[in-house]
Structure 1
Amino acid sequence: MIVVCEFMTPSGLERLRLGGLEVLYDPNLWKDRARLKAQLAEATALIVRNQTQVDAELLEAAPKLRVVGRLGVGLDNIHQPELKARGVQLYFARGINANAVAEYVMAAMLHLARNLSGAARHVAEGGWNRSAFGGFELMGKTLGLIGLGEVGLRVARRARAFGIRVVASDPLRLEWESAVEDLEIGLISTEEVLRQARFLSLHAPLTPQTKHLIRAETLALMPKGAYLINTARGELVHGEDLAVALGSGRLAGAVLDVTDPEPLPEGHRLRGVEGLWITPHVAGLTAEAQEAVGLRVAEGVLQQLGRL
């Protein structure tokens, strides 16, 4: 049996069913940990998104489990050493939603530079103050990338098409050397990226080293009036310090597609902060990306189970 405990596209589910195994699909099952554990007693595969914590406790309830499929790329909700110790394979959709996230980053930069929503709201309310909504051009500005994987490189490629200068830090990505050269990306230290970036976009994984990477000390390195975009993990940013930086004018604006926690509770410090736009973790959720992710993970799981 294959248990799918978070949302999966119909095409992905149909592909799973063609493998000839029973598929239990309940997109809200992750919310009921006890019921999920009970369903896993006979499961050979589990498919999750980012809400389900796949840890020792959950795996203990799944003695027949052979593979975990992740509908996305972030793996911080999956305890990989525990999977390895139990001989459970992991399959995830590496790079499959990179285009969607890269386009979101470009949309965020354009939003911060031109404030179309503010201008449209101003007109809808009866205004016509043209001088208040001129904004500025992206051409010639510097974009700093922290993390230069599939998404970071695609952001860089699109930014270069806009005439934006790109600098980045990611010492682990030596395999991207030729692309870095072709795109004329300046590979420098994280500290120098912070010092130079008019726009800073985060694409690093969540690790003990990257948690709260963006905090008071690092925000102080950025040029006054810079902008932050985070589509990676909410825990990369210290929420209180971000609110202070926006309130003081250290940052001119920020767009967060991820927060810590998700969603933000009522009364959270980041709610209602001027110059901050928060979206509900949708950067990679285009129709095209979700179709591709569902099909890719379905086929990967079936392959691991010997059903392809």
Structure 2
Amino acid sequence: MAKVLLVLYPDPLTGYPPAYARDSIPVLHGYPDGQTLPTPSSIDFTPGHLIGCVSGELGLRTFLEAAGHQLVVTSDKEGPDSVFDRELPDADVVISQPFWPAYLTADRIAKAPRLKLAITAGIGSDHVDLDAAIQRGITVAEETYSNSISVAEHTVMQILALVRNFVASHRWVEQGGWNIADCAQRAYDLEGMDVGIIAAGRIGLAVLRRLAPFSVNLHYTKTHRLDRAVERELNLTYHPDTASLARNVDVVSIHAPLHPQTYRLFDAAMLASMRRGAYIVNTARAEIVDRDAIVAALTDGHLAGYAGDVWYPQPPPTDHPWRSMPHNAMTPHVSGTTLSAQARYGAGTREILEAWLSGKPIRQEYLIVDGGHLAGVGATSYTVDGTTSPGSGH
């Protein structure tokens, strides 16, 4: 019998299950690069239902308990007295999401002698200490591509929200006003602007493709340059590094992984090099930018706006300055956990569990660490010291 410890975000304040806005979600037949969708033997949830919260349980309870396994589900993940820390020592499998990460630090891994598999329900396994996982022979896996397009759509929405001054305009309506001049004084057309993508991996390239019809000038930087045919198709301008791109665009969209070279990459000096009135959208990792430098640049007017859905820590404290800084369009970390995405990463999580529990190989596209070394997508997305490598954008 395996003990599976599942950490998910809390239920809606209005209770579970929610009343759904739609009766169904579209049926997809594959990912843009040809990768197949998750292929579990079956699922025990309705696609389009909220399975990413505690009561949703990723639709795993019936499957696991019918096979004699134990499932523990919690949202309590912080501190030595948390449910997560109390249940971890005898857990065989830990499952967590990037949106409500249960940080598997080296210390926590040392206290979990039975732990053999860590699954990220979604994409992005940087909440797992990969060095410790490699040393212990723990398999780390995630559902590559399951929510990449979800994040790309969220990114485009936030770019438009900033440039068109949507948040402030909507607020006037809520407050009973009709203050057109107040709304228009910070609203612009995106058309004709220079828009730059940091790391054109799966998400970054999807953003480029979605922005092309807006008649913008598209720029990008990436460790491994895109195929010239793609550059011609989208009329892309390539930059050899972030510094070159940042000073030549009106909008920066960040999609790089977090690693030593990107940690606080957008510091005060980088921000000062950007055009006055530029915008930044960050749906990658919060620590790629300097938290306080962002606040200062918005306050003094050098940046016109900042948006994204990634914070540090997650969830952030109530007094986190990004909650109240001027001209922001921040959201909680929700870009990759739409009901559509949940259907995919829920099915992918079950596919991984089915393979692992039956002793079969986990699909290569899902692997980050396997057999004591980086594997699958992990081999191209992470370095040997456990930090992510430049330009993966998976």
Same fold (TM over 0.5): yes
Residue in 1 that maps onto 2:310: 258
What's the CA shift string for 1:78-130, capped at 9, x where partnerless? 11122122221111122211111111111111111222343333245454343
The unaligned stretches of length 5 or more in structure 2 are 10-51, 361-394
- The alignment partner of 2:151 has SS state of helix
- Greater Cα shift, 37-46 or 238-247: 37-46
Identity of aligned residues (%): 29
Per-residue deviation, 1:59: 2.3
Task: Check the 8 A contact 2:248/2:274 in 1, yes or no.
Answer: yes
RMSD between superposed Cα atoms in Å? 2.5
- The alignment partner of 2:215 has SS state of coil
Task: Check the 8 A contact 1:139/1:163 in 2, yes or no.
Answer: yes
Residue in 1 that maps onto 2:256: 204
Residue in 1 that maps onto 2:7: 5
Per-residue deviation, 1:183: 2.5
Counterpart Cα distance in 2 of 1:11 and 1:5: 10
- The alignment partner of 1:201 has SS state of strand
Question: Quick one: structure 1 residues 58 and 120, their matched pair in 2 at CA, closer, same or farther if it must change by over 3 Å?
Answer: closer
Q: Which of the residues 229, 232, 239 maps onto 2:281?
A: 229
Counterpart amino acid of 2:236?
A: I
Name the structure where helix makes up a greater proportion of residues: 1
Counterpart amino acid of 1:54?
A: L
2:127 paired with 1:77: yes
2:72 paired with 1:25: yes
- The alignment partner of 1:136 has SS state of coil
Residue in 2 that maps onto 1:66: 116
Per-residue deviation, 1:204: 0.9
Counterpart Cα distance in 1 of 2:247 and 2:355: 46
2:265 paired with 1:220: no
Q: Which of the residues 297, 301, 306 maps onto 1:249?
A: 301
Counterpart amino acid of 2:280?
A: L
Residue in 1 that maps onto 2:157: 107
Per-residue deviation, 1:254: 0.9
2:329 paired with 1:277: yes
- Greater Cα shift, 10-19 or 40-49: 10-19
Residue in 1 that maps onto 2:96: 48
Question: Quick one: structure 1 residues 182 and 55, their matched pair in 2 at CA, closer, same or farther if it must change by over 3 Å?
Answer: same
2:346 paired with 1:294: yes
What's the CA shift string for 1:55-88, capped at 9, x where partnerless? 3322233333321111122222111122122221
- Greater Cα shift, 113-122 or 200-209: 113-122
TM-score by length of 2: 0.71
Question: Quick one: structure 1 residues 86 and 176, their matched pair in 2 at CA, closer, same or farther if it must change by over 3 Å?
Answer: farther
Per-residue deviation, 1:37: 4.7
Question: Quick one: structure 1 residues 261 and 287, their matched pair in 2 at CA, closer, same or farther if it must change by over 3 Å?
Answer: same
2:195 paired with 1:143: yes
The unaligned stretches of length 5 or more in structure 1 are none
Counterpart Cα distance in 2 of 1:140 and 1:306: 54
Counterpart amino acid of 1:45?
A: V
Question: Quick one: structure 1 residues 62 and 130, their matched pair in 2 at CA, closer, same or farther if it must change by over 3 Å?
Answer: closer
Residues 29-40 of structure 1: matches in 2 within 5 Å? 29-31=76-78, 33=80, 35-40=83-88
Per-residue deviation, 1:267: 3.9
Counterpart Cα distance in 2 of 1:82 and 1:124: 50
- The alignment partner of 1:220 has SS state of helix
Counterpart amino acid of 1:302?
A: E
- The alignment partner of 2:218 has SS state of strand
- The alignment partner of 1:91 has SS state of strand
Counterpart amino acid of 2:95?
A: I
Counterpart Cα distance in 1 of 2:97 and 2:80: 15
Q: Which of the residues 200, 216, 219 maps onto 1:164?
A: 216
